[in-house]
């Protein structure tokens, strides 16, 4: 029996007092109607400090919000535009693992 392909996952780095983080969350809920909800896993700086710091170190991210495609290793820092966010998340659904 073969193992199923790993499920695509996008990490969303957020933190308290971050207007851009709130804007991204609203964009995901309203215009995108939650269509990527099963793909995204939030990692909150104050709520999950150890995991947040590990992700920041691994991917070299210096700001929030950020979307990180854990399959391809791609990072989206420009999360203010609906088109960019939707394209990134759509690509993450079909991304090939790094090194394959």
pLDDT digits (tens, 9 = 90+) for 7-20: 679 999 999 999 99
Q: Are 69 and 94 in contact (CB under 8 A)?
A: no
pLDDT for residue 3? 46
- Report pLDDT for 55: 97
- Mean pLDDT taken over the chain: 90
Does the pLDDT value for residue 82 go beyond 60?
yes
The pLDDT of residue 8: 73
Average the pLDDT over 37-52 and give the result: 97
More confident residue, 100 or 46: 46
Using only C-alpha atoms, the chain has a radius of gyration, in whole angstroms, of: 14
Q: Which of 13, 25, 16, 20 is nearest to 75 (CA)?
A: 13
């Amino acid at each position: 029996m073969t193992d199923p392909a790993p499920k695509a996952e996008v990490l969303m780095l957020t933190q308290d007092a971050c207007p851009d983080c709130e804007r991204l969350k609203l964009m995901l809920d309203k215009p995108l109607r939650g269509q990527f909800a099963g793909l995204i896993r939030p990692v909150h700086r104050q709520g999950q400090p150890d995991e947040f710091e590990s992700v920041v170190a691994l991917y070299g991210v210096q700001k929030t919000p950020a979307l990180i495609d854990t399959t391809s290793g791609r990072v989206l820092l420009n999360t203010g535009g609906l088109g960019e966010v939707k394209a990134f998340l759509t690509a993450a659904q079909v991304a090939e693992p790094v090194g394959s």
